[in-house]
């Protein structure tokens, strides 16, 4: 069965369309299992730390998000056209629960399609104060911002922002949930 991959998923699998062994009669869970077995880097793109499908990942069956069907338990029909889109705003680590104890490493996320000025606006909307042009702080968290290295997706070059987050786990979890919603709109 042909599965079309989009945006940041294409470099992982090496092309826009892939053929899978999993097909009609199987579930989307079986399809995702095959894909992550063949390309382990897809695991971090598809799932959060609890093993649930990231809210920003969209798996479409004939144009409908499987989330609104039976989720990963949806049976693949004979006429299936499958398309998989990653989170639009990038930042694959932003969905993971983070341990931010004193000796913990910062969380570094790339948000492609989100310019630096827009990320600052988003963080200000979420209660941040701008300490310096590249440092924002909120209640229980801090974000150091810089332009991300451009990413090539085929012939398209996409810029964005790299954000380095530190803070309390509960504050970061709340921030990432709200920031994710803001970054879902495609780049402005």
pLDDT digits (tens, 9 = 90+) for 125-177: 999 988 888 888 888 888 989 998 888 877 888 888 989 888 887 888 888 88
Residue 97 has pLDDT above 70, yes or no: no
Displacement of CA 25 from its chain's centroid (Å): 28
Report the pLDDT value the prediction gives residue 185, as an integer from 0 to 100: 60
pLDDT of 138:
87
Half-sphere exposure of 13 (CA within 13 A, CB side): 25
Share of the chain above pLDDT 90, in %: 34
Q: How confident is the model at residue 88 (pLDDT cuts 50, 70, 90)?
A: low
pLDDT tier at 118, thresholds 50, 70, 90 = very high
> Alpha-carbon distance 111 to 187, whole Å?
9
User: What average pLDDT does range 14-22 have in this prediction?
Assistant: 93
Q: Which two tokens stand for residue 95?
A: 């969905």
Residue 184 corresponds to which tokens in the numbers above? 């879902």
> Which of the listed CATH numbers 1.20.120.80, 3.30.1370.80, 1.20.1260.10, 3.40.50.10420 matches domain 92-183?
3.30.1370.80
Q: Where are the domains of the chain?
A: 2-85, 92-183
Residue 188 clears pLDDT 70, i.e. is over it: no
Residue 161, helix vs strand vs coil: strand
39-55 tens-digit pLDDT: 999 998 888 778 888 87
CA distance 161 to 164: 10
pLDDT digits (tens, 9 = 90+) for 53-70: 887 788 989 888 898 899
Q: What is the pLDDT of residue 90?
A: 42
The CA-atom distances, in angstroms, between 107 and each of 57, 160, 169 are: 20, 17, 11
Q: Do domains 2-85 and 92-183 have the same CATH topology?
A: no
Whether residue 88 contacts residue 183, with contact meaning beta carbons closer than 8 Å, is answered with yes
Question: Max CA-CA distance within the chain?
Answer: 56
78 contacts: CB under 8 Å, gap ≥ 6: 24
Find out whether 108 and 93 touch, Cβ atoms under 8 Å. Answer: yes
What is the three-class DSSP state of 145? strand
Q: Select 2-85's CATH number: 3.10.20.30, 3.40.50.80, 3.40.50.300, 3.40.640.10.
A: 3.10.20.30
Q: Measuring CA to CA, how many Å separate 147 from each of 10, 59, 162? A: 23, 30, 6
Task: Count the helix, strand and coil residues of the chain and give each as a percent rounded to the nearest 5.
Answer: 30, 30, 40
């Amino acid at each position: 069965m042909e599965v079309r991959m989009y945006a940041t998923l294409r470099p992982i699998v090496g092309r826009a369309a892939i053929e899978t062994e999993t097909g009609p009669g199987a579930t989307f869970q079986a399809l995702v299992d095959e894909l992550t077995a063949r390309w382990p880097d897809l695991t971090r793109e598809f799932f959060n730390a609890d093993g649930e499908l990231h809210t920003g990942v969209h798996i479409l069956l004939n144009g409908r998000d499987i989330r609104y069907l039976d989720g990963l338990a949806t049976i693949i029909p004979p006429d299936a056209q499958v398309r998989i889109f990653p989170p639009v705003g990038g930042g694959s680590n932003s969905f993971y629960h983070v341990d931010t104890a004193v000796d913990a490493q910062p969380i570094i996320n790339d948000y492609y399609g989100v310019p630096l000025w827009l990320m600052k606006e988003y963080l200000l909307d979420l209660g941040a104060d701008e300490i310096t042009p590249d440092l924002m702080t909120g209640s229980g968290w801090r974000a150091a911002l810089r332009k991300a290295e451009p990413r090539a997706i085929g012939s398209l070059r996409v810029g964005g922002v790299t954000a380095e987050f530190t803070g309390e786990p509960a504050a970061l979890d709340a921030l990432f949930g709200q920031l994710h919603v803001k970054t879902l709109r495609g780049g402005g």
